[in-house]
Amino acid sequence: MGRRVATLALAALAALAPAAGAQAGATATGHGGAAASVDRAATRTAISVLRRGGNAVDAAVAAAGVLGVVEPYSCGIGGGGFMVIRTPSGRVTTIDSRELSPAAMTPTSFMENGEPLEFDPARYSGLSAGVPGTVRGWSEALEGYGTWSLGRALHPGAAVARRGFRVDDTFVSQTEDNVPWFDDVPSTAALYLDPDGTPRDAGTIIRNRDLARTYGLIARRGPRAFYEGPIADAIVKASNEPPVAAGADHVWRPGLLSAGDLESYTAPERRPTRVRFRGLDVWGMGPPSSGGSTVGEVLNILDGYRALASDRTRALHLLIESERLAFADRGAYLADPDFFDVPLRDLLSRRFAAERRELIDPAAAGTSPAEPGDPYGDGGGPGHSTTHLTVSDGRGTVVSYTFTIESIGGNGIVVPGHGFLLNNELTDFDYDDPAAPNSSDGRKRPRSSMSPTIVTRRGRPYLAVGSPGGATIITTVAQILLDRLALGASLPDAIAAPRVSQRNATPSQAEQAFVDSPEGRALAAGYGQTFETPDDPEIGAATGIDFGRHGRVLAAAEPVRRGSGSAAVERP
Protein backbone atom coordinates (compact mmCIF):
# COMPACT_ATOMS: atom_id res chain seq x y z
CA MET A 1 0.00 0.00 0.00
CA GLY A 2 3.02 2.29 0.02
CA ARG A 3 2.46 3.31 3.63
CA ARG A 4 4.45 6.28 4.88
CA VAL A 5 6.45 6.28 8.09
CA ALA A 6 4.40 9.16 9.47
CA THR A 7 1.19 7.23 8.92
CA LEU A 8 2.56 4.16 10.67
CA ALA A 9 3.74 6.26 13.59
CA LEU A 10 0.27 7.77 13.93
CA ALA A 11 -1.34 4.34 13.79
CA ALA A 12 1.01 2.99 16.43
CA LEU A 13 -0.02 5.76 18.78
CA ALA A 14 -3.72 5.41 18.01
CA ALA A 15 -4.18 1.68 17.58
CA LEU A 16 -4.55 0.70 21.20
CA ALA A 17 -6.73 3.65 22.17
CA PRO A 18 -10.14 2.80 23.62
CA ALA A 19 -12.91 2.48 21.06
CA ALA A 20 -14.86 5.34 22.64
CA GLY A 21 -14.23 5.57 26.30
CA ALA A 22 -12.50 7.31 29.21
CA GLN A 23 -10.81 9.93 27.06
CA ALA A 24 -9.45 13.29 28.08
CA GLY A 25 -9.68 16.28 25.75
CA ALA A 26 -13.38 16.78 24.97
CA THR A 27 -12.62 20.47 24.27
CA ALA A 28 -9.63 22.06 22.53
CA THR A 29 -8.88 25.61 21.44
CA GLY A 30 -6.25 27.11 19.18
CA HIS A 31 -5.66 28.07 15.56
CA GLY A 32 -5.57 26.39 12.17
CA GLY A 33 -7.66 23.29 11.65
CA ALA A 34 -9.75 21.44 14.20
CA ALA A 35 -11.48 18.08 14.62
CA ALA A 36 -13.94 16.46 16.99
CA SER A 37 -15.26 12.90 17.04
CA VAL A 38 -16.30 10.19 19.49
CA ASP A 39 -12.84 8.61 19.40
CA ARG A 40 -9.34 9.82 20.16
CA ALA A 41 -7.69 7.74 17.40
CA ALA A 42 -9.99 9.21 14.77
CA THR A 43 -9.49 12.77 16.01
CA ARG A 44 -5.72 12.30 16.09
CA THR A 45 -5.84 10.98 12.55
CA ALA A 46 -7.70 14.07 11.33
CA ILE A 47 -5.23 16.43 12.99
CA SER A 48 -2.27 14.48 11.62
CA VAL A 49 -3.66 14.80 8.09
CA LEU A 50 -4.11 18.56 8.54
CA ARG A 51 -0.58 18.96 9.86
CA ARG A 52 0.76 17.09 6.83
CA GLY A 53 -0.92 19.46 4.38
CA GLY A 54 -4.25 17.76 3.80
CA ASN A 55 -7.45 19.73 3.87
CA ALA A 56 -10.58 19.15 5.95
CA VAL A 57 -12.11 16.74 3.43
CA ASP A 58 -8.94 14.61 3.38
CA ALA A 59 -8.89 14.64 7.18
CA ALA A 60 -12.57 13.75 7.48
CA VAL A 61 -12.28 10.73 5.18
CA ALA A 62 -9.12 9.48 6.89
CA ALA A 63 -10.71 9.85 10.33
CA ALA A 64 -13.90 8.17 9.09
CA GLY A 65 -11.82 5.22 7.95
CA VAL A 66 -10.48 4.86 11.49
CA LEU A 67 -13.96 5.19 12.97
CA GLY A 68 -15.07 2.32 10.73
CA VAL A 69 -12.58 0.16 12.62
CA VAL A 70 -12.96 1.33 16.20
CA GLU A 71 -16.71 2.18 16.06
CA PRO A 72 -17.86 -0.77 13.91
CA TYR A 73 -21.33 -0.97 15.46
CA SER A 74 -22.06 2.65 14.52
CA CYS A 75 -20.47 3.19 11.12
CA GLY A 76 -18.23 1.72 8.46
CA ILE A 77 -18.01 0.81 4.80
CA GLY A 78 -21.11 -1.36 5.11
CA GLY A 79 -23.29 1.73 5.61
CA GLY A 80 -23.80 5.27 4.34
CA GLY A 81 -24.22 8.88 5.37
CA PHE A 82 -24.40 12.56 4.53
CA MET A 83 -21.57 15.09 4.29
CA VAL A 84 -22.00 18.87 4.30
CA ILE A 85 -18.96 20.76 2.96
CA ARG A 86 -18.17 24.46 3.07
CA THR A 87 -15.40 25.33 0.58
CA PRO A 88 -12.81 28.12 0.95
CA SER A 89 -14.80 30.17 -1.59
CA GLY A 90 -17.80 30.12 0.74
CA ARG A 91 -19.86 27.68 -1.30
CA VAL A 92 -21.80 25.06 0.69
CA THR A 93 -22.66 21.71 -0.86
CA THR A 94 -23.63 18.21 0.26
CA ILE A 95 -22.83 14.63 -0.73
CA ASP A 96 -25.53 11.99 -0.35
CA SER A 97 -24.07 8.54 0.27
CA ARG A 98 -27.31 7.19 1.73
CA GLU A 99 -27.90 3.48 1.23
CA LEU A 100 -30.13 2.47 -1.69
CA SER A 101 -32.71 -0.31 -1.77
CA PRO A 102 -32.36 -3.18 -4.27
CA ALA A 103 -34.17 -2.81 -7.59
CA ALA A 104 -36.22 -5.90 -6.67
CA MET A 105 -37.67 -4.37 -3.49
CA THR A 106 -41.38 -3.58 -3.42
CA PRO A 107 -43.73 -1.88 -0.93
CA THR A 108 -44.62 -5.34 0.43
CA SER A 109 -41.13 -6.84 0.67
CA PHE A 110 -41.16 -6.58 4.48
CA MET A 111 -44.58 -8.22 4.76
CA GLU A 112 -45.55 -11.83 5.31
CA ASN A 113 -49.13 -13.09 5.07
CA GLY A 114 -50.25 -9.51 4.61
CA GLU A 115 -48.67 -8.29 7.86
CA PRO A 116 -45.45 -6.29 8.31
CA LEU A 117 -42.56 -8.05 10.00
CA GLU A 118 -41.75 -7.11 13.57
CA PHE A 119 -38.65 -4.93 13.82
CA ASP A 120 -36.09 -7.53 14.94
CA PRO A 121 -36.98 -10.13 12.26
CA ALA A 122 -36.86 -7.33 9.68
CA ARG A 123 -33.58 -5.96 10.98
CA TYR A 124 -31.60 -9.17 11.51
CA SER A 125 -31.97 -10.33 7.94
CA GLY A 126 -30.65 -9.78 4.45
CA LEU A 127 -33.79 -7.78 3.65
CA SER A 128 -32.71 -4.80 5.72
CA ALA A 129 -29.38 -4.24 3.95
CA GLY A 130 -29.27 -1.46 1.38
CA VAL A 131 -26.44 -0.88 -1.07
CA PRO A 132 -23.66 0.64 1.08
CA GLY A 133 -22.80 4.18 0.03
CA THR A 134 -19.88 5.12 2.27
CA VAL A 135 -17.01 4.17 -0.05
CA ARG A 136 -18.55 5.95 -3.03
CA GLY A 137 -19.24 8.98 -0.83
CA TRP A 138 -15.64 9.13 0.36
CA SER A 139 -14.42 8.90 -3.23
CA GLU A 140 -16.74 11.65 -4.48
CA ALA A 141 -15.78 13.95 -1.60
CA LEU A 142 -12.06 13.51 -2.21
CA GLU A 143 -12.30 13.83 -5.98
CA GLY A 144 -14.42 16.94 -5.80
CA TYR A 145 -13.08 18.75 -2.76
CA GLY A 146 -10.05 16.93 -1.31
CA THR A 147 -6.36 16.84 -2.14
CA TRP A 148 -5.51 13.26 -1.14
CA SER A 149 -6.29 10.05 -2.97
CA LEU A 150 -8.72 7.57 -1.42
CA GLY A 151 -5.84 5.11 -1.08
CA ARG A 152 -3.76 7.54 0.96
CA ALA A 153 -6.73 8.47 3.14
CA LEU A 154 -7.37 4.79 3.98
CA HIS A 155 -3.84 4.08 5.24
CA PRO A 156 -4.47 5.05 8.90
CA GLY A 157 -7.65 2.97 9.13
CA ALA A 158 -5.94 -0.07 7.64
CA ALA A 159 -3.07 0.25 10.11
CA VAL A 160 -5.44 0.53 13.08
CA ALA A 161 -7.39 -2.51 11.83
CA ARG A 162 -4.20 -4.59 11.74
CA ARG A 163 -2.90 -3.47 15.12
CA GLY A 164 -6.24 -3.47 16.87
CA PHE A 165 -8.25 -1.36 19.30
CA ARG A 166 -8.96 -1.91 22.96
CA VAL A 167 -12.51 -2.82 23.98
CA ASP A 168 -14.10 -0.50 26.54
CA ASP A 169 -17.22 -0.76 28.70
CA THR A 170 -19.42 0.99 26.11
CA PHE A 171 -18.38 -1.51 23.47
CA VAL A 172 -19.09 -4.43 25.84
CA SER A 173 -22.58 -3.07 26.52
CA GLN A 174 -23.31 -2.63 22.82
CA THR A 175 -22.16 -6.20 22.15
CA GLU A 176 -24.29 -7.64 24.96
CA ASP A 177 -27.46 -6.33 23.33
CA ASN A 178 -26.56 -8.14 20.11
CA VAL A 179 -25.30 -11.48 21.48
CA PRO A 180 -28.49 -13.50 20.72
CA TRP A 181 -28.09 -12.64 17.02
CA PHE A 182 -24.32 -12.30 16.71
CA ASP A 183 -23.88 -15.88 17.89
CA ASP A 184 -26.02 -17.06 14.95
CA VAL A 185 -23.46 -15.71 12.45
CA PRO A 186 -19.97 -17.33 12.61
CA SER A 187 -18.24 -14.43 10.81
CA THR A 188 -19.69 -11.96 13.33
CA ALA A 189 -19.13 -14.14 16.37
CA ALA A 190 -15.49 -14.78 15.47
CA LEU A 191 -14.76 -11.06 15.44
CA TYR A 192 -16.83 -9.75 18.34
CA LEU A 193 -17.54 -12.65 20.71
CA ASP A 194 -15.34 -14.89 22.83
CA PRO A 195 -15.37 -18.63 22.05
CA ASP A 196 -17.96 -19.15 24.80
CA GLY A 197 -20.36 -16.80 23.02
CA THR A 198 -20.03 -13.86 25.43
CA PRO A 199 -18.83 -10.33 24.57
CA ARG A 200 -15.11 -9.68 24.43
CA ASP A 201 -14.00 -8.43 27.84
CA ALA A 202 -13.12 -4.80 28.44
CA GLY A 203 -9.41 -4.38 27.81
CA THR A 204 -9.33 -7.03 25.08
CA ILE A 205 -7.63 -6.06 21.82
CA ILE A 206 -9.72 -6.66 18.69
CA ARG A 207 -7.71 -6.94 15.48
CA ASN A 208 -9.54 -6.96 12.16
CA ARG A 209 -7.11 -8.19 9.51
CA ASP A 210 -9.95 -8.92 7.08
CA LEU A 211 -10.99 -5.26 7.16
CA ALA A 212 -7.35 -4.17 6.78
CA ARG A 213 -7.11 -6.27 3.61
CA THR A 214 -10.42 -4.86 2.36
CA TYR A 215 -9.18 -1.30 2.91
CA GLY A 216 -5.96 -2.27 1.12
CA LEU A 217 -7.83 -3.53 -1.92
CA ILE A 218 -9.94 -0.36 -2.10
CA ALA A 219 -6.78 1.73 -1.62
CA ARG A 220 -5.14 0.07 -4.62
CA ARG A 221 -8.10 -0.11 -6.99
CA GLY A 222 -10.40 2.67 -5.83
CA PRO A 223 -14.15 2.45 -5.19
CA ARG A 224 -14.57 0.07 -8.12
CA ALA A 225 -12.97 -2.62 -5.94
CA PHE A 226 -15.91 -2.29 -3.53
CA TYR A 227 -18.79 -2.08 -6.00
CA GLU A 228 -17.57 -4.74 -8.44
CA GLY A 229 -15.64 -7.98 -8.04
CA PRO A 230 -15.00 -10.12 -4.96
CA ILE A 231 -16.12 -7.60 -2.30
CA ALA A 232 -19.37 -6.83 -4.12
CA ASP A 233 -19.99 -10.55 -4.68
CA ALA A 234 -19.43 -11.21 -0.97
CA ILE A 235 -21.89 -8.44 0.00
CA VAL A 236 -24.58 -9.83 -2.30
CA LYS A 237 -24.05 -13.37 -1.04
CA ALA A 238 -24.07 -12.34 2.64
CA SER A 239 -27.33 -10.46 2.09
CA ASN A 240 -29.12 -13.00 -0.05
CA GLU A 241 -27.80 -16.09 1.73
CA PRO A 242 -27.25 -14.95 5.33
CA PRO A 243 -24.15 -16.88 6.55
CA VAL A 244 -25.78 -18.33 9.67
CA ALA A 245 -24.74 -21.40 11.60
CA ALA A 246 -26.71 -24.64 11.27
CA GLY A 247 -28.02 -24.31 14.83
CA ALA A 248 -29.02 -20.62 14.60
CA ASP A 249 -31.66 -19.54 17.11
CA HIS A 250 -33.44 -17.17 14.68
CA VAL A 251 -34.79 -17.15 11.15
CA TRP A 252 -32.62 -14.92 8.95
CA ARG A 253 -34.59 -13.92 5.88
CA PRO A 254 -32.76 -13.57 2.57
CA GLY A 255 -32.30 -10.18 0.95
CA LEU A 256 -32.78 -8.89 -2.57
CA LEU A 257 -29.44 -7.29 -3.50
CA SER A 258 -27.91 -7.93 -6.92
CA ALA A 259 -24.49 -7.25 -8.44
CA GLY A 260 -26.17 -4.65 -10.64
CA ASP A 261 -27.48 -2.80 -7.59
CA LEU A 262 -23.94 -2.29 -6.33
CA GLU A 263 -22.34 -1.59 -9.69
CA SER A 264 -24.82 1.19 -10.52
CA TYR A 265 -24.72 2.95 -7.13
CA THR A 266 -23.99 6.69 -7.14
CA ALA A 267 -23.45 9.24 -4.36
CA PRO A 268 -25.00 12.41 -5.78
CA GLU A 269 -24.05 15.94 -4.85
CA ARG A 270 -27.14 17.83 -3.71
CA ARG A 271 -28.05 21.39 -2.82
CA PRO A 272 -28.09 22.06 0.92
CA THR A 273 -31.05 23.38 2.86
CA ARG A 274 -30.70 26.93 4.16
CA VAL A 275 -32.59 29.00 6.71
CA ARG A 276 -31.86 32.28 8.46
CA PHE A 277 -31.80 32.23 12.26
CA ARG A 278 -30.83 35.21 14.38
CA GLY A 279 -29.06 36.77 11.40
CA LEU A 280 -27.04 33.62 10.62
CA ASP A 281 -27.26 31.19 7.70
CA VAL A 282 -27.88 27.59 8.82
CA TRP A 283 -27.01 25.01 6.16
CA GLY A 284 -28.15 21.39 6.35
CA MET A 285 -28.86 18.20 4.46
CA GLY A 286 -31.88 18.03 2.23
CA PRO A 287 -33.99 15.01 1.20
CA PRO A 288 -33.74 12.06 1.46
CA SER A 289 -32.58 13.29 4.86
CA SER A 290 -35.23 15.00 6.92
CA GLY A 291 -32.55 16.63 9.06
CA GLY A 292 -32.04 19.94 7.27
CA SER A 293 -35.74 20.51 6.68
CA THR A 294 -36.92 19.59 10.17
CA VAL A 295 -34.16 21.43 12.03
CA GLY A 296 -34.77 24.34 9.67
CA GLU A 297 -38.52 24.37 10.33
CA VAL A 298 -37.93 24.31 14.10
CA LEU A 299 -35.52 27.25 13.84
CA ASN A 300 -37.91 29.18 11.57
CA ILE A 301 -40.71 28.80 14.12
CA LEU A 302 -38.42 29.79 17.02
CA ASP A 303 -37.07 32.80 15.13
CA GLY A 304 -40.47 34.45 15.43
CA TYR A 305 -40.17 34.71 19.22
CA ARG A 306 -38.39 37.62 20.87
CA ALA A 307 -36.18 37.57 23.97
CA LEU A 308 -35.65 33.81 24.06
CA ALA A 309 -32.50 34.27 26.12
CA SER A 310 -34.38 36.00 28.94
CA ASP A 311 -36.07 32.77 30.10
CA ARG A 312 -34.47 29.42 29.20
CA THR A 313 -37.46 27.45 30.52
CA ARG A 314 -39.79 29.33 28.19
CA ALA A 315 -37.34 28.85 25.32
CA LEU A 316 -37.24 25.10 25.93
CA HIS A 317 -41.04 24.95 26.04
CA LEU A 318 -41.17 26.68 22.66
CA LEU A 319 -38.48 24.31 21.33
CA ILE A 320 -40.52 21.27 22.41
CA GLU A 321 -43.70 22.62 20.80
CA SER A 322 -41.88 23.59 17.59
CA GLU A 323 -40.44 20.09 17.37
CA ARG A 324 -43.87 18.54 17.90
CA LEU A 325 -45.24 20.34 14.82
CA ALA A 326 -42.11 19.94 12.68
CA PHE A 327 -42.09 16.17 13.25
CA ALA A 328 -45.73 15.98 12.15
CA ASP A 329 -44.68 17.66 8.90
CA ARG A 330 -41.63 15.42 8.59
CA GLY A 331 -43.79 12.31 8.67
CA ALA A 332 -46.16 13.64 6.03
CA TYR A 333 -43.81 15.21 3.50
CA LEU A 334 -40.24 13.85 3.73
CA ALA A 335 -39.02 10.99 1.55
CA ASP A 336 -36.66 10.22 -1.33
CA PRO A 337 -37.18 13.18 -3.74
CA ASP A 338 -36.86 10.82 -6.71
CA PHE A 339 -40.11 9.15 -5.59
CA PHE A 340 -42.04 11.92 -3.84
CA ASP A 341 -42.44 15.61 -4.60
CA VAL A 342 -41.07 16.97 -1.32
CA PRO A 343 -42.35 20.55 -0.81
CA LEU A 344 -39.01 21.64 0.63
CA ARG A 345 -39.21 25.33 -0.26
CA ASP A 346 -42.66 25.62 1.30
CA LEU A 347 -41.70 23.66 4.44
CA LEU A 348 -38.83 26.08 5.00
CA SER A 349 -40.77 29.24 4.16
CA ARG A 350 -41.40 32.00 6.67
CA ARG A 351 -45.09 31.88 5.76
CA PHE A 352 -45.40 28.23 6.76
CA ALA A 353 -43.42 28.79 9.97
CA ALA A 354 -45.78 31.61 10.93
CA GLU A 355 -48.81 29.37 10.35
CA ARG A 356 -47.35 26.64 12.54
CA ARG A 357 -46.29 29.13 15.23
CA GLU A 358 -49.89 30.25 15.63
CA LEU A 359 -50.78 26.75 16.87
CA ILE A 360 -48.37 26.93 19.82
CA ASP A 361 -49.67 27.92 23.24
CA PRO A 362 -46.79 29.87 24.82
CA ALA A 363 -47.96 28.83 28.28
CA ALA A 364 -49.05 25.18 27.92
CA ALA A 365 -48.00 21.92 26.34
CA GLY A 366 -49.68 20.80 23.16
CA THR A 367 -50.99 17.32 22.44
CA SER A 368 -49.68 14.58 20.18
CA PRO A 369 -50.05 13.39 17.59
CA ALA A 370 -50.25 16.84 16.04
CA GLU A 371 -51.64 17.04 12.52
CA PRO A 372 -49.27 18.00 9.71
CA GLY A 373 -49.64 21.45 8.26
CA ASP A 374 -50.33 22.40 4.64
CA PRO A 375 -47.07 23.73 3.23
CA TYR A 376 -48.66 24.14 -0.20
CA GLY A 377 -50.91 26.87 1.14
CA ASP A 378 -53.90 25.81 -0.97
CA GLY A 379 -55.10 22.55 0.54
CA GLY A 380 -53.43 20.51 -2.26
CA GLY A 381 -50.29 18.38 -2.54
CA PRO A 382 -49.47 14.84 -2.08
CA GLY A 383 -32.22 2.18 18.08
CA HIS A 384 -30.31 3.64 16.23
CA SER A 385 -26.62 4.20 16.17
CA THR A 386 -24.61 6.61 14.10
CA THR A 387 -21.49 8.70 14.51
CA HIS A 388 -20.67 12.30 13.69
CA LEU A 389 -17.36 13.85 12.71
CA THR A 390 -16.62 17.59 12.45
CA VAL A 391 -13.40 18.84 10.79
CA SER A 392 -12.10 22.21 9.58
CA ASP A 393 -8.83 23.46 8.14
CA GLY A 394 -7.06 26.79 8.21
CA ARG A 395 -8.04 27.59 4.62
CA GLY A 396 -11.77 27.73 5.24
CA THR A 397 -12.93 24.23 4.35
CA VAL A 398 -15.41 22.83 6.88
CA VAL A 399 -16.86 19.32 6.94
CA SER A 400 -19.85 18.17 8.97
CA TYR A 401 -20.26 14.44 8.38
CA THR A 402 -22.75 11.98 9.83
CA PHE A 403 -22.54 8.33 8.79
CA THR A 404 -24.00 5.10 10.05
CA ILE A 405 -24.96 1.46 9.66
CA GLU A 406 -28.33 2.28 11.33
CA SER A 407 -28.97 0.20 14.50
CA ILE A 408 -26.11 -0.61 16.88
CA GLY A 409 -24.50 -3.53 15.06
CA GLY A 410 -26.37 -2.98 11.79
CA ASN A 411 -28.10 -6.11 10.53
CA GLY A 412 -25.71 -8.32 12.51
CA ILE A 413 -23.91 -9.82 9.49
CA VAL A 414 -20.15 -9.36 9.12
CA VAL A 415 -19.38 -9.97 5.45
CA PRO A 416 -17.25 -13.15 5.56
CA GLY A 417 -13.62 -12.54 4.66
CA HIS A 418 -14.00 -8.75 4.59
CA GLY A 419 -14.48 -7.69 8.21
CA PHE A 420 -17.34 -5.15 8.09
CA LEU A 421 -20.95 -5.24 9.25
CA LEU A 422 -23.78 -4.65 6.83
CA ASN A 423 -26.35 -1.95 7.49
CA ASN A 424 -30.02 -2.42 8.33
CA GLU A 425 -30.88 0.94 6.79
CA LEU A 426 -33.93 -0.27 4.89
CA THR A 427 -35.84 -0.60 8.17
CA ASP A 428 -35.94 3.22 7.98
CA PHE A 429 -38.67 2.84 5.39
CA ASP A 430 -42.26 3.01 6.61
CA TYR A 431 -42.49 -0.59 5.50
CA ASP A 432 -45.80 -1.19 7.27
CA ASP A 433 -47.59 1.32 5.00
CA PRO A 434 -47.27 0.73 1.23
CA ALA A 435 -48.99 4.06 0.55
CA ALA A 436 -46.67 6.23 2.68
CA PRO A 437 -44.26 8.65 0.96
CA ASN A 438 -41.42 6.78 2.72
CA SER A 439 -42.69 3.29 1.81
CA SER A 440 -40.19 0.66 0.70
CA ASP A 441 -39.64 0.44 -3.06
CA GLY A 442 -36.95 -0.45 -5.56
CA ARG A 443 -33.86 1.74 -5.96
CA LYS A 444 -35.11 4.15 -3.30
CA ARG A 445 -33.28 5.85 -0.44
CA PRO A 446 -35.05 5.60 2.92
CA ARG A 447 -35.77 8.81 4.81
CA SER A 448 -33.05 9.72 7.28
CA SER A 449 -32.77 11.96 10.34
CA MET A 450 -29.06 12.73 9.96
CA SER A 451 -28.50 16.46 10.41
CA PRO A 452 -24.92 17.52 9.67
CA THR A 453 -25.03 21.30 9.96
CA ILE A 454 -22.81 24.26 9.12
CA VAL A 455 -23.61 27.81 10.25
CA THR A 456 -22.11 30.85 8.55
CA ARG A 457 -22.15 34.57 9.30
CA ARG A 458 -21.76 36.88 6.31
CA GLY A 459 -20.42 33.89 4.38
CA ARG A 460 -17.73 32.98 6.91
CA PRO A 461 -17.72 29.82 9.06
CA TYR A 462 -19.38 30.37 12.42
CA LEU A 463 -20.29 26.90 13.74
CA ALA A 464 -20.41 23.28 12.58
CA VAL A 465 -22.23 20.58 14.51
CA GLY A 466 -23.94 17.20 14.25
CA SER A 467 -24.88 14.14 16.28
CA PRO A 468 -25.83 10.47 16.08
CA GLY A 469 -29.04 9.13 17.59
CA GLY A 470 -31.69 8.12 15.02
CA ALA A 471 -34.63 10.52 15.02
CA THR A 472 -33.22 12.23 18.13
CA ILE A 473 -30.43 13.59 15.91
CA ILE A 474 -32.79 16.32 14.76
CA THR A 475 -33.82 17.38 18.25
CA THR A 476 -30.25 17.19 19.56
CA VAL A 477 -28.96 19.48 16.82
CA ALA A 478 -31.91 21.85 17.24
CA GLN A 479 -31.35 22.11 21.00
CA ILE A 480 -27.62 22.72 20.58
CA LEU A 481 -28.31 25.44 17.99
CA LEU A 482 -30.91 27.07 20.24
CA ASP A 483 -28.55 27.09 23.23
CA ARG A 484 -25.54 28.27 21.25
CA LEU A 485 -27.10 30.75 18.82
CA ALA A 486 -30.03 32.19 20.78
CA LEU A 487 -29.43 31.58 24.49
CA GLY A 488 -25.76 32.53 24.69
CA ALA A 489 -24.28 29.18 25.78
CA SER A 490 -20.76 28.22 24.78
CA LEU A 491 -20.48 25.28 22.38
CA PRO A 492 -19.10 22.92 25.06
CA ASP A 493 -21.94 23.86 27.41
CA ALA A 494 -24.53 23.45 24.64
CA ILE A 495 -23.19 19.98 23.84
CA ALA A 496 -23.02 18.94 27.49
CA ALA A 497 -26.49 20.22 28.45
CA PRO A 498 -29.13 17.60 29.40
CA ARG A 499 -31.38 16.86 26.43
CA VAL A 500 -35.06 16.65 25.64
CA SER A 501 -36.54 15.23 22.44
CA GLN A 502 -40.12 15.83 21.24
CA ARG A 503 -41.01 13.86 18.10
CA ASN A 504 -44.79 14.33 17.91
CA ALA A 505 -45.48 11.92 20.76
CA THR A 506 -46.58 12.24 24.36
CA PRO A 507 -44.62 12.30 26.57
CA SER A 508 -41.35 13.81 25.32
CA GLN A 509 -38.23 11.74 25.75
CA ALA A 510 -35.65 13.28 28.04
CA GLU A 511 -32.47 12.34 29.79
CA GLN A 512 -32.94 11.93 33.53
CA ALA A 513 -30.65 14.90 34.11
CA PHE A 514 -33.06 17.04 32.10
CA VAL A 515 -36.10 15.77 34.02
CA ASP A 516 -34.34 16.58 37.31
CA SER A 517 -33.04 19.99 36.19
CA PRO A 518 -34.67 23.24 37.32
CA GLU A 519 -35.92 23.76 33.76
CA GLY A 520 -37.31 20.23 33.55
CA ARG A 521 -39.19 20.62 36.82
CA ALA A 522 -40.48 24.05 35.79
CA LEU A 523 -41.65 22.73 32.41
CA ALA A 524 -43.59 19.96 34.15
CA ALA A 525 -45.09 22.16 36.86
CA GLY A 526 -45.69 25.35 34.94
CA TYR A 527 -46.29 24.27 31.35
CA GLY A 528 -47.74 20.77 31.71
CA GLN A 529 -44.90 19.10 29.80
CA THR A 530 -44.49 15.38 30.47
CA PHE A 531 -41.33 13.32 30.08
CA GLU A 532 -40.11 9.75 29.93
CA THR A 533 -36.54 8.52 29.90
CA PRO A 534 -35.56 6.39 26.87
CA ASP A 535 -34.23 2.84 27.10
CA ASP A 536 -30.84 4.28 26.20
CA PRO A 537 -30.38 6.87 28.95
CA GLU A 538 -28.21 9.07 26.70
CA ILE A 539 -29.55 11.09 23.78
CA GLY A 540 -26.98 11.79 21.08
CA ALA A 541 -23.20 12.10 21.15
CA ALA A 542 -22.55 15.39 19.40
CA THR A 543 -19.39 17.04 18.11
CA GLY A 544 -18.83 20.54 16.83
CA ILE A 545 -16.43 23.36 15.98
CA ASP A 546 -16.85 27.02 16.88
CA PHE A 547 -15.07 29.63 14.75
CA GLY A 548 -13.91 32.73 16.59
CA ARG A 549 -12.11 35.88 15.64
CA HIS A 550 -8.59 36.09 14.22
CA GLY A 551 -8.59 32.44 13.14
CA ARG A 552 -9.27 31.03 16.58
CA VAL A 553 -11.15 27.72 16.69
CA LEU A 554 -12.76 25.70 19.46
CA ALA A 555 -13.46 21.99 18.91
CA ALA A 556 -15.85 20.24 21.28
CA ALA A 557 -17.12 16.72 21.84
CA GLU A 558 -19.21 15.02 24.48
CA PRO A 559 -17.62 15.18 27.95
CA VAL A 560 -19.58 12.14 29.22
CA ARG A 561 -21.96 10.56 26.67
CA ARG A 562 -20.65 7.37 25.02
CA GLY A 563 -17.76 7.42 27.45
CA SER A 564 -16.75 10.91 26.24
CA GLY A 565 -15.45 12.10 22.90
CA SER A 566 -12.27 13.67 21.64
CA ALA A 567 -11.44 17.13 20.30
CA ALA A 568 -8.17 18.60 19.04
CA VAL A 569 -6.83 21.55 17.09
CA GLU A 570 -3.98 21.82 14.61
CA ARG A 571 -2.14 24.51 16.59
CA PRO A 572 -3.13 24.51 20.28
pLDDT over 70 percentage in the chain: 94
Q: Say which residues have a Cβ less than 8 Å from residue 379's Cβ, sequence separation at least 6.
A: none
Dist CA 72 CA 168 (whole Å): 13
pTM of the full predicted structure?
0.94
Residue 250 has pLDDT above 70, yes or no: yes
Tens digit of pLDDT for each residue in 335-366?
999 999 999 999 999 999 999 999 999 999 99
- Known catalytic residue at 543: no
The predicted structure's pLDDT at residue 140:
98
User: What mean pLDDT do residues 387-399 have?
Assistant: 97
Tens digit of pLDDT for each residue in 446-461?
999 999 999 999 999 9
The predicted structure's pLDDT at residue 5:
28
Average pLDDT, the chain: 93
Under DSSP, the state recorded for 289 is B
CA 276 from centre of chain: 23
216: confidence class by pLDDT, cuts 50, 70, 90: very high
Given 386, 453, 456, 543, the catalytic residue: 386
7: confidence class by pLDDT, cuts 50, 70, 90: very low
Q: Cβ-count burial of 186 within 10 angstroms (0-12 exposed, 13-18 middle, 19+ buried)? A: middle
The predicted structure's pLDDT at residue 537:
84
Residue 15 has pLDDT above 50, yes or no: no
Q: Could you give the count of Cα atoms lying within 13 Å of 77 in the half-sphere of its Cβ?
A: 35
**Helix, coil or strand: residue 263:** helix
Query: Which residue from 544, 537, 526, 425 is spatially nearest to 483, judged by alpha carbons?
Result: 544
Task: Give the C-alpha distances (Å, rounded to integers) separating 505 from 360, 420, 432, 434.
Answer: 15, 35, 19, 23
Phi, psi torsion values for 189, nearest 5 degrees: -60, -40
Tens digit of pLDDT for each residue in 124-179?
999 999 999 999 999 999 999 999 999 999 999 999 999 999 999 999 999 999 99
Q: Say which residues have a Cβ less than 8 Å from residue 220's Cβ, sequence separation at least 6.
A: 1, 151
The predicted structure's pLDDT at residue 10:
33
Tens digit of pLDDT for each residue in 298-349?
999 999 999 999 999 999 999 999 999 999 999 999 999 999 999 999 999 9
Helix or strand (DSSP H, E) at 352: helix 350-357
Tens digit of pLDDT for each residue in 548-558?
999 999 999 99
Task: Give the C-alpha distances (Å, rounded to integers) separating 436 from 1, 129, 339, 420, 440.
Answer: 47, 20, 11, 32, 9
Q: Measure CA of the first residue to CA of the last residue in the chain; give whole Å.
A: 32
Dist CA 315 CA 328 (whole Å): 20
377: confidence class by pLDDT, cuts 50, 70, 90: low
Helix or strand (DSSP H, E) at 69: helix 56-70
The predicted structure's pLDDT at residue 22:
32
Q: Cβ-count burial of 537 within 10 angstroms (0-12 exposed, 13-18 middle, 19+ buried)? A: exposed
Residues in the chain: 572
The predicted structure's pLDDT at residue 383:
56
